[in-house]
Amino acid sequence: MPNETKRITDEIRLRKNGVFNIFAGGKNLFPDENGRICRIEKALTVTEKEFEECVFLLCKGSVYSYDDSIRRGYIPIPYGRAGVCGDGVTEMGKMKKIKEITSVSLRVHRNIENYGRKIINIYKQEGLKGTLIYSPPGMGKTTLLRSVGLMLARGEGIRPYKVGFADEREEIILPDTNLGIADVFSGCPKHIAVEMLTRTMSPEVIICDEITPADTEELVHSTGTGVFLICSCHAENKKELEAKPHIRILMEKGCFGLLSRVKRENGVYGYVTEVL
């Protein structure tokens, strides 16, 4: 595969008995057997055996020990997570298990030094603010969250803060980025992680990715205890953001004083900020 394509690859997708494709530079690309980008008809396909071997390796040879995370749609791996989907089995309206995994999406996570500088500068001028980072999926929200969180923890251009990460899917903190300067609660639902961090680690800032309605109560409670939240959420624009009931509640309760919309053009990361 061309090096330039590798550099800008965001996602790698494998489907059982289906095509192998990558998402790079905002496009779905289909490599052939020689790694050259080609038309979908000539694309490399993943056999059942290859696919199962891939899942087996992602689970370090013990698929059953990832039952819980697979049920929640992912397999945690050292540099992020592998999203999975397939034939789900529900019981009493809740997901019981994924009987057969048929697709795997490997997200390529990046650590961009100083990416959060603009936000840190705002904190420096106006004081720390609860921040909501939003964009459609795959634009780099987690990259920005990671950068801002680590810059605050390291005290880069600002005094060092006590930062706690509620990292449910073990994808915010990469193995080589934490360096023992932040507290990470990983592998459990965000609202539980936020509650535990608030109660036991007395953080000044909590970083939380892709907040959902289930997290609202705990996030409001944390703000009430003097913790600043830096969260992310899927939305194309501010209108879409405000249309989400749980976000509206959080904004009305004063959890956020800064909004940041992440965008990517031609693979280049960027974001705009708005002080509320």
Partner 1 sequence: MKAIAGAALICVCFFLLGRKATERDRTAVKQLYEILKLTRHIKDCISISLTPLPDIYDSFEFDKKYMADFEKSLKTKGLAAAVEQLVLPEEAYLPLRELALALGKTDSENQCKKLESTIGILETVYREFKQTEQQKSKSIQALFSLAGAVAVILMF
Is residue 164 a contact partner of residue 203, using CB atoms and an 8 Å limit? yes
Task: Tell me the closest approach of the beta carbon of residue 89 to partner 1, in angstroms.
Answer: 10
Nearer of residues 70 and 194 to partner 1, judged by Cβ = 70
Nearer of residues 20 and 66 to partner 1, judged by Cβ = 66
Nearer of residues 59 and 163 to partner 1, judged by Cβ = 59
Chain residues that interact with partner 1, rule: CB under 8 A = 52, 56, 59-65, 67, 70, 97
CA distance 42 to 193: 46
Task: Tell me the closest approach of the beta carbon of residue 222 to partner 1, in angstroms.
Answer: 31
Q: Which helix (H) or strand (E) holds 270?
A: strand 268-275
Nearer of residues 67 and 126 to partner 1, judged by Cβ = 67
Task: Tell me the closest approach of the beta carbon of residue 263 to partner 1, in angstroms.
Answer: 40
Distances (CA, A) of 218 to 26, 165, 201, 222, 232: 35, 14, 15, 6, 15
Task: Tell me the closest approach of the beta carbon of residue 40 to partner 1, in angstroms.
Answer: 30
Hey, what long-range contacts does 117-126 have (CB within 8 A, 24 or more apart)?
117/151, 117/157, 118/271, 118/273, 119/144, 119/148, 119/258, 119/260, 119/273, 120/148, 120/151, 120/152, 120/156, 120/157, 120/158, 121/157, 122/258, 122/273, 122/275, 123/152, 123/158, 124/157, 124/158, 126/275
Task: Tell me the closest approach of the beta carbon of residue 100 to partner 1, in angstroms.
Answer: 9
Nearer of residues 67 and 236 to partner 1, judged by Cβ = 67
Task: Tell me the closest approach of the beta carbon of residue 237 to partner 1, in angstroms.
Answer: 40
Nearer of residues 34 and 62 to partner 1, judged by Cβ = 62
CA distance 203 to 209: 16
